[in-house]
């Protein structure tokens, strides 16, 4: 979107070369006196990387040093994982340069309501209300009522989420360990997502299509995010369905390996 309106965009990359973690030194090298906005997605989609409180404070200080606004895309806030990293405070709480964006879709499992929020300075909020009057005006009354109900019971929802994440993460760790000869990953430090790196003779889009069409498993292709030979795994599904999905993915991978072995054998003959 920034590029679409004519902005000059520099990407702060998170990936295998950074061990799927944020490199704040790399961000500092990207900044110039012309930098107007820094956008940070933490926990990160699709790697599961997360800014520590200390690193988040440093990012805010870097934004402040060049007079830039820092926008925290915090869609996965409250989705803590066992032995994961602690969440940093929202950027809006760090000072006048901070803006925080959130949603009911991810931490509350309510994407159909299409309700989220932006928190910032009074002037920013006033201008956002003005734009909203021209874009969507107001949510449906039922959507709004359900959103308020979810927020009222958010502690129970968060506890439920934590139980699901804990169960699925344990299963995923075991599943990955049993296939470490061709799969590897860095478990999420927060949120629901991680990247699986695979060693199979198929590009990620073809493999993701094969999984979806023939095995009813949705693992997003890494190429959609700029990570070829990766698949994005989400650990927020009902645990029974999650285990079934991993079993189906295993069947798919075994089929791909068997075909590779058959082709190699034919070539050898």
Contact 239, 161 (CB under 8 A): no
Domains of the chain: 3-154 (3.40.640.10), 156-268 (3.90.1150.10)
pLDDT of residue 14: 94
- DSSP lists the bridge partners of residue 194 as 233
Residue 133, both tokens: 């009057």
Using DSSP's 3-state secondary structure scheme, residue 119 falls into strand
Side-chain-side CA neighbours of residue 116 (13 Å): 19
pLDDT of residue 268: 61
**pTM of the predicted model as reported, rounded to 2 decimal places:** 0.91
Contact 15, 33 (CB under 8 A): no
Q: Say how many C-beta atoms besides its own lie within 10 A of residue 217's C-beta.
A: 20
Using DSSP's 3-state secondary structure scheme, residue 238 falls into coil
pLDDT of residue 118: 95
Q: 197 phi and psi, to 5 degrees?
A: -95, 130
Tokens 């993701």 belong to which residue? 208
Contact 176, 202 (CB under 8 A): no
Q: CA 168, 102, 227: angle at the middle one, nearest 5? A: 55
Contact 204, 229 (CB under 8 A): yes
Q: Say how many C-beta atoms besides its own lie within 10 A of residue 196's C-beta.
A: 21
pLDDT of residue 269: 63
pLDDT of residue 136: 84
Q: Which helix (H) or strand (E) holds 193?
A: strand 193-198
Q: What string of pLDDT tens digits covers the 269 residues of the chain?
A: 899 999 999 999 999 899 999 999 999 999 999 999 999 999 999 999 999 999 999 999 999 999 999 999 999 999 999 988 999 999 999 999 999 999 999 999 999 999 999 999 999 999 999 999 998 888 899 999 999 999 999 999 999 999 999 999 999 999 999 999 999 999 999 999 999 999 999 999 999 999 999 999 999 999 999 999 999 999 999 999 999 999 999 999 999 999 988 766 666 66
Which residues, in sequence order, are CB contacts of 41 under 8 Å at separation 6+?
73, 75
Residue 242, both tokens: 């999650």
pLDDT of residue 266: 63
């Amino acid at each position: 979107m920034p590029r679409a309106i004519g902005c000059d965009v520099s990407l702060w990359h998170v990936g295998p070369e950074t061990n799927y973690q944020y490199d704040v030194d790399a961000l500092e090298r990207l900044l110039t006196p012309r930098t107007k906005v820094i956008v940070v997605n933490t926990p990160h989609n699709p790697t599961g990387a997360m800014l520590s409180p200390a690193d988040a404070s440093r990012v805010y200080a870097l934004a402040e040093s060049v007079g830039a606004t820092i926008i925290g895309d915090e869609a996965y806030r409250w989705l803590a994982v066992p032995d994961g990293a602690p969440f940093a405070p929202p950027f809006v709480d760090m000072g006048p340069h901070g803006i925080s964006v959130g949603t009911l879709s991810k931490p509350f499992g309510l994407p159909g309501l299409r309700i989220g929020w932006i928190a910032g300075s009074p002037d920013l909020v006033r201008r956002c209300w003005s734009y909203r009057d021209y874009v969507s005006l107001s949510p449906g009354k039922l959507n709004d009522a359900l959103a308020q109900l979810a927020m009222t019971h958010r502690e129970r929802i968060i506890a439920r989420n934590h139980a699901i994440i804990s169960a699925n993460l344990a299963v995923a760790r075991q599943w990955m360990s049993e296939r470490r000869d061709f799969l590897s990953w860095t478990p999420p430090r927060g949120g629901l997502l991680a990247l699986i790196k695979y060693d199979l003779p198929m590009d990620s889009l073809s493999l993701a299509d094969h999984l979806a069409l023939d095995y009813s498993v949705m693992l997003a292709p890494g190429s959609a995010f700029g990570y070829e030979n990766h698949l994005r795994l989400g650990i927020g599904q009902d645990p029974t369905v999650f285990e079934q999905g991993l079993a189906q993915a295993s069947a798919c991978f075994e089929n791909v390996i068997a075909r590779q072995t058959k082709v190699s054998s034919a070539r050898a003959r």
